[in-house]
Structure 1
Amino acid sequence: MRTKLYPTLALALLLAASASAQIGRRFPSERKVVKDPVTGTMLTFLTSTQAGDSKIYQTHNQWTADSKWLIFRSDRVRNEAMAVNEQTGVIVQVSEGGYTGMLNVSRKEMKLFFMRNPKSTAAPGSMEIVEVDLAKVFADSEKGKMQSVDHYQRVCGTTPPEIGAGGDMALDGAEDWAYFRIGRAEATKRLPAGTKVEAAFGPRKMGAGPSGIGAMNIKTGEIKHVVAVPFQVGHIQTNPWVAGEIVFCWETGGKSPQRTWIVHSDGTGLRPLYPESEYEWVTHEAVITKDEVAFAIMGHRPVKGAKLATPGTEVGGANPGQETDWGPSGTREKPTGLGIVNINTREMVIIGQTPSGSGLWHVNGSADGRWAAGDDFSRSLYLIDRHTREMIMLTTGHKPTAADHPHPTFSPDGTRIEIQSAMLSADNKSMNICIVPVPESWLKRKYDTK
């Protein structure tokens, strides 16, 4: 028999559903410590159910300013940001009203910043930048006495629709400006006269320009232009230790003619960060210290007609980059591995490479300059001692069928690495938030600085 739903009951259920999606909502701990079956590393899974979890991209900060919480994305409450306490495992919803693009966690204050589509009163094409007071959210959530959402969230400002703001967002090192991608029409107006606009590159038909970067002052809402370029901008990030230093890429979905770029916030100093050749597949750059950017020079493609040194190490299937349309790049006929370039001296070194297979894919490094890390196409995670060049596998078994790569990011103190992993997932795809420790024996190492 079908039950009749009276209007008052329907309203009550609607209000209850709305309340359940409120900022500050708490979820029980899923924290588990699991021993890696191959390496023996003790892995701390901060989430362990199939709830559509994923970490923030490795170009951005993950930990809150007090180093107690990690911010992540999840489908527990669709399109809302989550935080998990590293020690207790408690999970808290830390946004309300949705977000788009990159989550930006302040290193200086207990704050979170993101972009979102504004309320219907704003002009179509505008974007809001929102600030969340995490300290208030966590305190009131623990008390079980949440207030209205406006008590925790503040709109820093709204972008004018004509600039087409969106995509990646990054918080300046001084944490007073936020940078974002601007649309083609705005970039076209800003390009110097006579600039050749780049066409799409590679089989994914991406990379065509123009594009550019704009900025908003998160204190005042002021909008300014930073730079316009003749190609598609992607992966905007900043130097957390140097105000006004922006790193970004030419995004093609694979190999770029010139992947890495750097510019100052006033638009000066635009240049390739690491000038590359056509045979170098440079990808996944990340600012790791105040002077350095790490990136991968891929060695994931078999040389045509060559005999593999280790049969069965071909990279294919679900992994990208095998199409011939990418050109001659990505083979080990030339030097490949985890590269680190000094922003100021412009010197580059390769500090490690896996012995076979894809090579390192997503890379990162500790802020103290001691460690570097990278994942590969098997979803294994490698750690490199930058002083000795020793490299070990920290963890594997994270399933090549996972929805995404591990995307390693070091904690601010360099003692542990956050990854996303499908190791525990029954569907072999859904990922969880996982903490991998730097071995205690490595942390105790002393070096002769002479």
Structure 2
Amino acid sequence: MRPYAILTLCCALLASVDACAAIGQRFPSERKEVVDPVTGTRLTFLTSRPHGDSKIYQTHPQWTADGQWLIFRSRLAGNEAMAVNEKTGDIVQVTEGGYEGMLNAARKSMKLYFLRRAGDDRQVVEVDLARVLADSAAGRMGDAASYQRVAATLPASMEAYGDTALDADEEWLYVRVGPHEAARHLAPGTKLEPAFGPRKMGAGPAGIARVNVRTGEVRHVVSVPFQVGHIQANLWNPGEIVFCWETGGKSPQRTWTVKADGSGLRPLYPEAPYEWVTHEAVIGKDEVALAIMGHRAIPGAVAAVDAPATDVGGANPGQDDGWGRTGTREKPSGLAIVNLRTRQMQIVGQTPSGSGFWHVHGSSDGRFAVGDDFSRSLYLIDRASHEMKLLTTGHKTTAADHPHPTFSPDGTRIEIQSAMLSADGRTLNICIVPVPEAWLKR
């Protein structure tokens, strides 16, 4: 028997997959097609067993550059990244040695980038996905070093975090840096922001650096007097960054944008004190989707029949006291699209009741938007007509996380994470939801 075949057989027999976490390791297909019992939508589950899977955050690419595989996180092989073939369901381990934070699948090349802890330092790691997947299929895997390259080592003094984003040019990786590093680049006398809200988060300073994945060069981008989160790159426009002021809830000014050279720092959507803005996602060359929440009861008003309940074990945040009179439906709310050039904002849809939209995305051709809500329901919006369609509801309010919808690059499918098939009502799987054929033909 060939050595790789022996390795694969051993891994299949081991009770603990952590003991055999080798890059290129293959797992049998779990692909299942399921009809949503409420909407009739045909869902394709690419994973269906209780491994504890989760998709990459909706701000980042999910599909590999060839459009055949989706990268996801799972405990199937310990703390390693996985790829699943959308057509065959084949599952392949694509990292070895673990990763930290965000996984960055390149859109133009078959590469994957992430941070990895190396003592107190952080390494920027590049994975050659094309070679991993080809050699895995052929059963001729080499050692991990032949597929993974350390592109740079970031010293502990940078306080680099796994909140990263790959630029559209695929030469620079943006990295969040900590308060000491950020403070070195702040203008003297800059007033630092204190923690904001009941979660005691949001205090500054923080910053963003960029690392050249070819040369290892490191440059500072920007420092700000507040806590930085959700760094993302405009995947259609090199050198453009979107990020947020992270407080764990409502921010004084949530969304921000800046150029890679540190110029042009400004609020993306200047928000009013009563607006609860969250979960921004760059969806095209000129557009960012975001949610203006309408999830909180209006003090003194008669509650709606389906008014959101109090916080359910942290699953539906924002119900706790201390956020002020924000996130109610006294003012306009819903799924908003902001144009980065004209700075105009349009609300394209809102659920008639309940929490309103929470995590949002849109097709890059500008035709559709999508969002989930606290009930884990998924709604599709035709941006031309503002017609809204419920795609699926079967994802359980007890799920470990929200669906986090992300459109495929061609705008025909939406990836979510779902607990529909989970016996415990919490464990997530990777699921593909189609845009209805009738909508695509419009």
Identify the residue that residue 388 of structure 1 maps to in structure 2: 385
Identify the residue that residue 44 of structure 2 maps to in structure 1: 44
Q: Deviations over 1:143-177 (max 9, x none)?
A: 11110111110110101221111130000011100
Task: From the superposition, tell whether residues 18 and 370 of structure 1 become closer, same or farther in structure 2 (CA, over 3 Å).
Answer: closer
1:417 to 414, 418, 424: 414
Distance in structure 1 (CA, Å) of the matches to 2:187 and 2:80: 39
Distance in structure 1 (CA, Å) of the matches to 2:343 and 2:357: 22
Give SS of 1:155's match: strand
TM-score (norm 2): 0.95
Contact 1:352 1:389 in 2 (8 A): yes
Distance in structure 1 (CA, Å) of the matches to 2:382 and 2:197: 35
Q: Deviations over 1:99-120 (max 9, x none)?
A: 00100000001111110012x5
Instruction: Read off the aligned partner of 2:63 and give its amino acid letter.
Output: W
Identify the residue that residue 316 of structure 1 maps to in structure 2: 310
- Is 1:284 equivalent to 2:282 in the alignment? no
Aligned pairs (5 A) from 1:166-315 = 166-308=161-303, 310-315=304-309
- Is 1:407 equivalent to 2:401 in the alignment? no
Q: How big is the shift at 1:324?
A: 2.3
Contact 2:50 2:428 in 1 (8 A): yes
Aligned pairs (5 A) from 1:293-372 = 293-308=288-303, 310-318=304-312, 319-372=316-369
Aligned pairs (5 A) from 1:27-42 = 27-42=27-42
TM-score (norm 1): 0.93
Distance in structure 1 (CA, Å) of the matches to 2:18 and 2:380: 44
Identify the residue that residue 150 of structure 1 maps to in structure 2: 145
Identify the residue that residue 4 of structure 2 maps to in structure 1: none
Distance in structure 2 (CA, Å) of the matches to 1:264 and 1:314: 39
Identify the residue that residue 448 of structure 1 maps to in structure 2: none
Identify the residue that residue 76 of structure 1 maps to in structure 2: 76
Q: How big is the shift at 1:312?
A: 3.1
Q: How big is the shift at 1:17?
A: 7.6
Q: How big is the shift at 1:314?
A: 2.4
1:438 to 416, 435, 438: 435
Task: From the superposition, tell whether residues 402 and 326 of structure 1 become closer, same or farther in structure 2 (CA, over 3 Å).
Answer: same
Distance in structure 2 (CA, Å) of the matches to 1:230 and 1:21: 41
Point out where structure 2 has 5 or more consecutive residues left out of the alignment: 1-12
Distance in structure 1 (CA, Å) of the matches to 2:411 and 2:18: 40
Contact 1:30 1:48 in 2 (8 A): yes
Distance in structure 2 (CA, Å) of the matches to 1:34 and 1:355: 27
Q: How big is the shift at 1:23?
A: 0.2
Identify the residue that residue 129 of structure 2 maps to in structure 1: 134
Q: Deviations over 1:266-305 (max 9, x none)?
A: 0000000000011000000000010000000000001012
Q: How big is the shift at 1:336?
A: 0.2
Identify the residue that residue 7 of structure 2 maps to in structure 1: none
- Identity within the alignment, %: 69
Q: Deviations over 1:340-380 (max 9, x none)?
A: 10001000000000000000000000011000000000000
Q: How big is the shift at 1:46?
A: 0.3
C-alpha RMSD of the superposition: 1.4
Give SS of 1:400's match: coil
- Is 1:23 equivalent to 2:26 in the alignment? no
> Number of paired residues?
426
Identify the residue that residue 94 of structure 2 maps to in structure 1: 94
Task: From the superposition, tell whether residues 19 and 424 of structure 1 become closer, same or farther in structure 2 (CA, over 3 Å).
Answer: closer
Runs (4+) off by over 2 Å: 16-20, 312-317
Distance in structure 1 (CA, Å) of the matches to 2:56 and 2:317: 21
